[in-house]
């Protein structure tokens, strides 16, 4: 293997221990390909170590330790490597090494683990390509690992992980205005503190777009299990203690939606009484939703089967569709 001197020195000095760890990994994870692990060491791991060694050679031993163990575990669990379910993990590690080697030198284990966990999570939501692009902007500007991770969660919310909304808003309040603006893909020169207040009050407000009139159909959420979704049959919408839920085939799912995206998360087993709620003055006629000002036809999805409303959101389900429709009321 042709490795950078920094990684070569660490592997040579700890050869017996690294060999022991690899043997344990072979026992723990069936089917680890030694050649695939070798490719990780000579490729991404070597690149990351080389980038950090340029700014802090003293951090290399701890970094190499973390990379060795995490790479072995992720390869064994089939997250990375050929056919891996979260190949972007390696790109995320290399991005941090290139853009913020000093931060990686400070806390290699925690930062590598956080990036890996984030991209494993993103593997269920499209892979995280746009999140990584924003992270590349944030990383060189963050003053600490904690600040980068806070900004990273805000960026994850911005790029569609609506279930992070509440925690991301809390972290947003702790960020420097420039870093916050960048996490939300707003030009820093255009950022105003009042924007965050408006975002907290109105889930359909976007600081980087002109305002749009409500009511309006915002998005569809959910899909058939055969197409990567969670629903075995068309869902129905209801609520428990004010929380919007979708029900399909005996399973309940919490619904998370705002201007940046929507998704469903497993909630609990059991039935859910379908709701038939509408804002005052609205009505349903078959597959058509009618407000006092607008008409929303959904003929391609079949008759509207249930509807639930909150102060700012209306959710509809349909007879022929495994997705629900989300309507912004603000």
Query: 256 and 190, same structural domain?
Result: no
Residue 83 has pLDDT above 80, yes or no: yes
Residue 120 has pLDDT above 90, yes or no: yes
Of 175, 326, 299, give the one whose Cα is nearest residue 237: 326
Query: 222 and 153, same structural domain?
Result: no
Query: 243 and 220, same structural domain?
Result: yes
Query: 221 and 191, same structural domain?
Result: no
Of 137, 131, 69, 130, give the one whose Cα is nearest residue 98: 137
Asked, for residue 40, whether it belongs to a domain, the answer is: yes
Residue with the larger pLDDT of the pair 127 and 45: 45
Asked, for residue 206, whether it belongs to a domain, the answer is: no
Asked, for residue 207, whether it belongs to a domain, the answer is: no
Query: 188 and 110, same structural domain?
Result: yes
pLDDT band at 233 (very low <50, low <70, confident <90, very high): very high
Which domain range does residue 49 map to?
A: 5-201
Query: 172 and 69, same structural domain?
Result: yes
Bridge-based pairing of strands 324-328 and 251-258 is unpaired
Residues 6 or more apart whose CB falls under 8 angstroms from that of 96 comprise: 103, 104, 111, 112, 115, 135, 139
Query: 323 and 229, same structural domain?
Result: yes
pLDDT band at 269 (very low <50, low <70, confident <90, very high): confident
Total structural domains within the chain = 2
Cα dihedral angle (167, 168, 170, 175), rounded to 10 degrees?
Answer: 150
Structure-token match 């930062």, residue found: 111
Phi, psi of 316 (to 5 degrees): -120, 150
Average pLDDT over residues 284-302: 98
Query: 175 and 32, same structural domain?
Result: yes
Average pLDDT over residues 119-130: 95
- Of 201, 226, 241, which one is at a domain's C-terminal end? 201
Query: 113 and 44, same structural domain?
Result: yes
Residue 1 has pLDDT above 70, yes or no: no
Query: 192 and 140, same structural domain?
Result: yes
Query: 138 and 172, same structural domain?
Result: yes
pLDDT of residue 29: 94
Residue 249 has pLDDT above 80, yes or no: yes
pLDDT band at 268 (very low <50, low <70, confident <90, very high): confident
Query: 315 and 246, same structural domain?
Result: yes
Asked, for residue 208, whether it belongs to a domain, the answer is: no
Residue 104 has pLDDT above 70, yes or no: yes
Of 168, 167, 164, give the one whose Cα is nearest residue 265: 164
- Of 152, 173, 201, which one is at a domain's C-terminal end? 201
């Amino acid at each position: 293997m042709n490795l950078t001197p920094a990684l070569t020195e660490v592997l040579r000095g700890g050869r017996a221990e690294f060999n022991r760890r690899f043997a344990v990994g072979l026992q723990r994870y069936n089917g680890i390909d030694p050649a695939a692990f070798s490719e990780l060491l000579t490729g991404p791991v070597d690149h990351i170590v080389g980038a950090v060694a340029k700014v802090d050679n003293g951090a290399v031993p701890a970094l190499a330790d973390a990379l060795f163990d995490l790479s072995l575990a992720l390869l064994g669990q089939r997250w990375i490597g050929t056919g891996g379910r979260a190949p972007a993990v390696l790109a995320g590690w290399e991005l941090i090494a290139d853009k913020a080697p000093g931060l990686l030198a400070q806390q290699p284990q925690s930062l590598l683990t956080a990036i890996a966990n984030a991209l494993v999570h993103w593997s269920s939501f499209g892979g995280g390509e746009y999140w990584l692009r924003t992270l590349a902007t944030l990383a060189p500007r963050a003053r600490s690992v904690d600040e980068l991770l806070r900004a990273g969660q805000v960026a994850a919310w911005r790029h569609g992980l609506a279930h992070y909304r509440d925690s991301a808003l809390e972290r947003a309040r702790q960020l420097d205005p420039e870093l916050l603006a960048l996490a939300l893909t707003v030009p820093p020169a255009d950022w105003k503190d009042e924007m965050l207040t408006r975002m907290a009050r109105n889930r359909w407000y976007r600081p980087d777009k002109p305002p749009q009139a409500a009511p309006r159909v915002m998005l569809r959420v959910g899909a058939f299990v055969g197409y990567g979704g969670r629903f075995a049959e068309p869902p129905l919408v209801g609520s428990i203690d004010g929380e919007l839920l979708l029900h399909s085939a005996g399973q309940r799912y919490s619904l998370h939606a705002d201007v940046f995206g929507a998704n469903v998360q497993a909630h609990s087993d059991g039935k859910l009484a379908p709701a038939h709620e509408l804002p005052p003055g609205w009505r349903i006629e078959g597959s058509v939703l009618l407000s006092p000002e607008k008409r929303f036809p959904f003929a391609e999805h079949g008759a509207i089967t249930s509807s639930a409303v909150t102060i700012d959101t209306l959710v509809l389900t349909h007879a022929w569709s495994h997705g629900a429709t989300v309507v912004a009321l603000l």
